[in-house]
Chain A
Amino acid sequence: MTKTPYVLIVEDDEWLAEQHARTLGEAGIRTESVPHALAAIDSVDTNTPDALVLDLLLAGPNAFTLLHELRSHADLAAIPVILCTANAEGIVDEDIQAYGVKQVLDKATMLPHDLVAAVKKVLP
């Protein structure tokens, strides 16, 4: 039996998180949404996701704090990350590759299908 892929969405705009979840759900991907990095760490602790869809600016510690935390645990360091941000133009690829970021999606220009494609590309 094939395991249903599981993706953790870290997004503080609850309606956008809901939209991501709806889009991924239609593609047969199970999701959980959390609004900030601390909740993400809690969630990852109990249920390791197959991939992470991550917003850059979050309440409290930002995305890089979460990425640092994940990289510091051998069992979590390999979780592929899709960065989904409204600040995509300010991101330098070299700066984020070390954090396991596989793709950057620009919230302003992406299509719903882009999210599904990006996630499917990194799923094991």
Chain B
Amino acid sequence: MAGDLSFLVTAAHELKAPLALIRQLALSLETAENLPAGERERMLRQVTLTSERALRLTTDLARSSRLEDGLFELEPLNPRQICEDVAHELSPLYKAKNREIRISARYRPLLVVANRDLLRRIILNFGDNALHYASDASPVELRVQTLDGGSRIRMGVRDFGPAITADVWQRLESHLGKATQPLHARPQSSGLGLYVAGQFATAMQRTIGATRHRDGATFYVDLTASTQMRLL
């Protein structure tokens, strides 16, 4: 019960930030006189993109609450295609914030076994999380790596933002995907997106993790490589 309440509080807080921004922009647009057309357009674009971000979160929360209800179809998927879909969906938001998102993966990577919708949402959450910490100069990378001689595929999102402090990192590592936690070194995230990503990974019997770098972090999900190709 206490956990449910804490989750609700975190979810409410996470939604408050985009809604507060949308409200401020709308109030200004309502009252603004002599606002240059370009400026008005820019503010409207910010309203659109911020509301889309909030909607992504509400969709994830709704999806997360229904995870126990159903079985999820796992199928062989091309991880590069998933990265391309995510990059396509996030690129308007990245562009509006003068950031770049790009893909670092082989053109013909090994297929992974996963649920398409859940995997896409995991990578979207990582991409959303990375956006806030990427510097103007460094792009965020959606990465696909082959591990353990090809039996495991790691899909991750690498950002080049401020380093996570050791204490925050320790807390993050021990709770990643298990509970929401405030990441004070990365304040725009209460950890809710990562928690939801963890829930989605668990529903596919997979795990998420993170690697700390001197200049940022990589959040990843480890997946089983499809053996379908090897049987051919």
Contacts and interface: CB of A to CB of B under 8 A. Distances in A.
B149 interface: no
Contact of A13 (B21, B31, B165, B185): B21
B106 to A, nearest CB: 34
A36 B21 CA distance: 18
A102 interface: no
A60 B182 CA distance: 13
A59 B186 contact: yes
Interface string B219-232: 00000000000000
Interface string A48-72: 0000000001111010000000000
Given A58-B187, A59-B187, A60-B185, A15 B46 contact: yes
Interface stretch (B12-20, B76-84, B206-214): B12-20
Given A86-B16, A111-B27, A112-B31, A16 B185 contact: no
B: contact size bracket: 20 to 34
Given A58-B187, A60-B185, A111-B27, A16 B21 contact: yes
A112 B32 CA distance: 11
Interface in B176-206: 182, 184-188
Interface of B: 13, 16-17, 19-21, 23-25, 27-28, 31, 39, 46, 50, 97, 132-133, 161-162, 165, 182, 184-188
28 contacts: A12-B188, A13-B17, A15-B46, A15-B50, A15-B97, A16-B20, A16-B21, A16-B24, A19-B24, A19-B25, A23-B28, A36-B162, A57-B187, A57-B188, A59-B133, A59-B161, A59-B162, A59-B185, A59-B187, A60-B165, A60-B185, A86-B13, A86-B20, A108-B20, A108-B23, A111-B27, A112-B24, A112-B28
